[in-house]
Copies of this chain bind each other. A is one copy, B any other.
Amino acid sequence: MLRVYGDLQSGNCYKVKLLLAYLGLPHEWVHVDILKGESRTPEFLARNPNGKIPTLEIGPGDYLWESNAILYYLADGTDFRPSTRVLRARVLQWQSFEQYSHEPYIAVARYIEKYLGLPEARRAEYEAKRAGGYRALGVMEQHLAARDFFVGAHATIADVSLYAYTHVAHEGGFSLSDYPAVRRWCARLAALPGYVTMSGA
């Protein structure tokens, strides 16, 4: 049985939950509260020395971490990973874009607002995330204008990665009103069989 250590309110963890749901894979979900320091205990660091969630137990005492690596592992042999070298590289390209040019703005702004309650001490940092987040959304909008999914003709783990924080971008103060192609793409992913929301419904 796959065991996931994570927090469903974290988009990085929800990526894993969503793919498991799309694939219909049974699993155990162990809640980890990062605000209580549960990802920095000696016990947890033995699972993931980088002290982050999600972390996946793939065998007794054998752990895999980093959301993109976990998605890659779970999607192997399914339609959520394309079968050609170029398309597989493009999936990685968009997942890397998400981790480096999207998540550090949209997810961090959401963390400051939703988890921390937008404290005054972090308001300047919160505001500074605005430009980079909208820039990432602009790159997505342009790409999706003539496409249904990020890579190829159906949903892949690139879509799963990008969907997680995009569909809750408003929780970090971002509006999708000027991004109609992104909104249509979000609806497309929510309509796929097996879809679950962040609250698990």
Which residues of A are at the interface with B, using a C-beta cutoff of 8 A? Answer: 49-50, 52, 58, 64-70, 72-73, 76, 85-86, 88-90, 92-93, 96-97, 99-101, 104, 139, 142-143
Determine the distance from Cα of A65 to Cα of B139 in the docked complex, in whole angstroms. 13
Contact (Cβ within 8 A) A66 B139: no
Can you spell out 28 A-B residue pairs with CB atoms less than 8 angstroms apart?
A: A49-B139, A50-B97, A50-B101, A50-B139, A52-B101, A58-B86, A64-B89, A64-B90, A64-B93, A66-B92, A66-B93, A66-B96, A66-B100, A68-B92, A69-B89, A69-B90, A69-B92, A69-B93, A69-B96, A72-B89, A72-B92, A73-B86, A73-B89, A76-B85, A76-B89, A96-B99, A100-B100, A104-B104
Determine the distance from Cα of A66 to Cα of B161 in the docked complex, in whole angstroms. 15
A97 to B: closest C-beta gap in Å: 6
* Closest B residue, CB atoms, query A68: B96
Query: Inside 8 A of A49's CB, which chain B residues have their CB?
Result: 139, 142-143
Counting chain B CB atoms within 10 Å of each CB, which of A66, A86, A143 scores highest?
Answer: A66
Query: Inside 8 A of A72's CB, which chain B residues have their CB?
Result: 88-89, 92
Q: How many copies of this chain does one complex carry?
A: 2
Contact (Cβ within 8 A) B104 A66: no
Determine the distance from Cα of A99 to Cα of B99 in the docked complex, in whole angstroms. 8
A144 to B: closest C-beta gap in Å: 12
Q: What 4 A-B pairs are tightest by C-beta distance, nearest first?
A: A66-B96, A69-B93, A73-B89, A69-B92
Query: Inside 8 A of A93's CB, which chain B residues have their CB?
Result: 64-66, 69
Query: Inside 8 A of A67's CB, which chain B residues have their CB?
Result: 96
